[in-house]
A and B are shown apart, each in its own frame.
Chain A
Amino acid sequence: QQPVQSPQAVILREGEDAVINCSSSKALYSVHWYRQKHGEAPVFLMILLKGGEQKGHDKISASFNEKKQQSSLYLTASQLSYSGTYFCGTEGRNYGQNFVFGPGTRLSVLP
C-alpha cells in the first residue's frame, strides 16, 4: 500500500538537476510532495490531481501520470537549501481512503 520511491538517496553539486520518482500499486486520486529537514516537520511542496498534470514551484516541478500511477519530482539547478528528505504521499481513488507516504529520498546538495 505504501508507494515506492527511487532513488533512496542522491548527492548533487549545487546547480545540478535531480529527478525523484514515486509509484503506487493502487489507483490514485492525488499525489503530494513534501520536503523534510532534519528534526523538523515535513513542508508541503505541491499536489497533483489530474492525469498528466504538471506543476512547478520555482525550480521544482512535478508530473503525475494517473494511468501509470506514477509521479516524478524534478529539481532544476539545485540549491543548498534543497537538501533534505523528499516524500511523496498518495491518496487513493475512493474518498475516505487513507493518505500514505513513501519511504523518502534523501537529497544532499553540496557546494
Chain B
Amino acid sequence: DGGITQSPKYLFRKEGQNVTLSCEQNLNHDAMYWYRQDPGQGLRLIYYSQIVNDFQKGDIAEGYSVSREKKESFPLTVTSAQKNPTAFYLCASSARGAGELFFGEGSRLTVL
C-alpha cells in the first residue's frame, strides 16, 4: 500500500542532543513538507521541498535542518539550537501542483 511512513513514533531526548526524524513516502510525490504542531495549536511549516536536492525554509526553520537526496526521503534534524523542540512533528507529501497533502502518522518528540 502506498503511503508515508514516519519514524520513530515517540522519541525522548536529552536537552542539547540533535535528533533526526525519518520520513519516507512511496507515492512518487515530488513535494514533501515538515510541520510542527504544539498542543492546541495549528500546523506550522518548518521546511518544504518541491524537488530532489532542493528545499526551502518555512515559517519556523530556525534550529532545524533537512535534506532531500532521494525523492522518497525527507529527514528532519532537530538541532540543539532549537529552543523548544518538544512537539508533534508531521511529515506530508503531495503530487506536483495543487494536490492533496498526504500525512504520515507523526512523531512525538519530548526533550527532557
| Interface of A toward B, CB cutoff 8 Å | 1-2, 29-30, 32, 34, 40-44, 47, 49, 87, 89, 91, 95-96, 98-104
- Establish whether residues B45 and A98, one from each chain, have CB atoms under 8 Å apart when the complex forms: yes
Interface size class of B (residues with CB under 8 A): 20 to 34
Q: Which residues of B contact A41 (CB under 8 A)?
A: 90, 103-106
Closest 7 CB pairs of A and B: A41-B103, A30-B98, A103-B42, A101-B43, A44-B100, A104-B42, A98-B48
Q: Tell me the bound Cα distance from A41 to B44 in angstroms.
A: 14
B56 at the interface (CB under 8 A from A): yes
Q: Tell me the bound Cα distance from A14 to B100 in angstroms.
A: 29
Residue from the set B56, B101, B103, B106 with the largest chain A CB neighbour count within 10 Å: B101
B33 at the interface (CB under 8 A from A): yes
Q: Tell me the bound Cα distance from A96 to B51 in angstroms.
A: 10
